[in-house]
Amino acid sequence: MTICPGCGSTSTSKLFEVTADEASRHFINPRQYPDRSRKLTCHLSDLWGGNTCDVRKCSDCGFGFADPFVAGGAEFYNLALVYPCFPTMKWEYARTIEELTGLDTLGKTTLEIGAGLGYFLDCVKNKFFNISDISAADYNEISLSVLESKGFKTFSSDFRQSSFDPLKDSFDFIFMFQVFEHMDKVDDVFARLNYLLKTQGTIFIAVPNENRTYYMEAYGSLVDMPPNHIGRWTKEAFSAICERHGLQLSKCEREPFDLAKFLKQDIVHSFLRKAQKPGTLSEFVRALPRSKAQRIAQGLTALAISPSRLPAWAYAVSNASTLGGSALWARIDKVS
């Protein structure tokens, strides 16, 4: 019997399964990196204790999750991510800034977990918070040196561990954007957030919009592959975990649908999905050495497969209001 990590219900069902080889191909092209690809496949089998991982969904809170519910660790990310990418402006940043505008932030302390290169913190420093009141946690060494050079107080240790320096009730605001969906032991995460947060403090979380994930999987685009993302959060799942930890889910909103953004992402993602299939033109082009010519070839191949996306786009446009954009955003308050 599998228990939903979101709400604790036993009413869950299997959506599909992935093999270690399929998951490995999602991250690494074996033609391009044969050795790395083999190591990643082995590592995934070890992590899962077998050759497959299921993706299940809870019928009570809608939470979707990898089973086994285990996150990728440093070894996984070192093998799977060849070029780490650091985002710039995102809707969830703008939405959080809009929310902060209505709050008393003067002299308040903040922590961003998974701060990347500090793009979000750059947007809020001086405007809402003093630099000396801003802390940033990340694993990545490039991130840490950039964050430090910008004057933020940095932490490289896992905020769930007791070795993470800040004390109880350290922060008025905690930000966690596109991080929580990577995490297992979600009750430990929430217990720790609660511990670090002051009373009357607020957490802002953004995760992928699960409606977009299911659209992509149903229409032959990328799979939201474990063990990179292992949780598909919903408003109901956030509500359940907040309740268990005495926190209040004050707001939960889906990013609005934006046609131009949608089309751009869909073309890229469906090309990347095709490039996972051995012997396709997309796979061949994707595996060429990185150069300007390769980028142009990738762009042309992606455009060439676009007409086959028309049925998917027709579906998306006619369901735009429920489908929404890339992110699901939540404001969580510690009221007592």
Q: How far is the CB of 4 from Zn ion (least distance, A)?
A: 3
The angle formed by the CA atoms of residues 228, 233 and 238, to the nearest 5 degrees, is 135
242 binds Zn ion, rule: CB under 5 A: no
Q: How far is the CB of 330 from Zn ion (least distance, A)?
A: 16
216 binds Zn ion, rule: CB under 5 A: no
- Considering only the stretches 3-11, 71-79, 205-213, 256-264, report the one whose residues sit in contact with Zn ion under the rule CB under 5 A: 3-11
Q: How far is the CB of 3 from Zn ion (least distance, A)?
A: 9
User: Which of 27, 30, 41, 63 lies at the binding interface for Zn ion (CB under 5 A)?
Assistant: 63
The closest alpha carbon to 7, from 236, 248, 249, 253, belongs to 236
Q: How far is the CB of 184 from Zn ion (least distance, A)?
A: 15
Per-residue contact string for residues 171-210; x = within reach of Zn ion by CB under 5 A: ----------------------------------------
The DSSP line for 252-302 is EEEPPP-HHHHHHHHHHHHHHHHTTSTTSHHHHHHTSPSSHHHHHHHHHHH
Closer to Zn ion by CB, 4 or 189: give it: 4
Residue with tokens 């980028």: 295
User: Which of 21, 60, 99, 122 lies at the binding interface for Zn ion (CB under 5 A)?
Assistant: 60
User: Which of 40, 58, 79, 223 lies at the binding interface for Zn ion (CB under 5 A)?
Assistant: 58
The angle formed by the CA atoms of residues 240, 246 and 248, to the nearest 5 degrees, is 70
Q: Are 160 and 188 in contact (CB under 8 A)?
A: yes
6 binds Zn ion, rule: CB under 5 A: yes
Say how far apart CA 147 and CA 117 lie, in whole Å: 6
- Considering only the stretches 5-13, 145-153, 219-227, 261-269, report the one whose residues sit in contact with Zn ion under the rule CB under 5 A: 5-13
233 binds Zn ion, rule: CB under 5 A: no
Say how far apart CA 201 and CA 88 lie, in whole Å: 26
Q: Which two tokens stand for residue 188?
A: 């430990």
241 binds Zn ion, rule: CB under 5 A: no
Residue with tokens 């799979």: 223
- The answer to whether the Cα torsion of 261, 264, 268, 273 is positive or negative is positive
231 binds Zn ion, rule: CB under 5 A: no
- Considering only the stretches 7-15, 90-98, 166-174, 264-272, report the one whose residues sit in contact with Zn ion under the rule CB under 5 A: 7-15
Q: Which two tokens stand for residue 18?
A: 């992935």
- Considering only the stretches 6-14, 99-107, 216-224, 293-301, report the one whose residues sit in contact with Zn ion under the rule CB under 5 A: 6-14
Closer to Zn ion by CB, 69 or 120: give it: 69
| CA distances for 28 relative to 25, 77, 114, 272, 274, angstroms | 5, 11, 23, 11, 13
Name the residues that contact Zn ion, by CB under 5 A: 4, 6-7, 9, 58, 60-61, 63
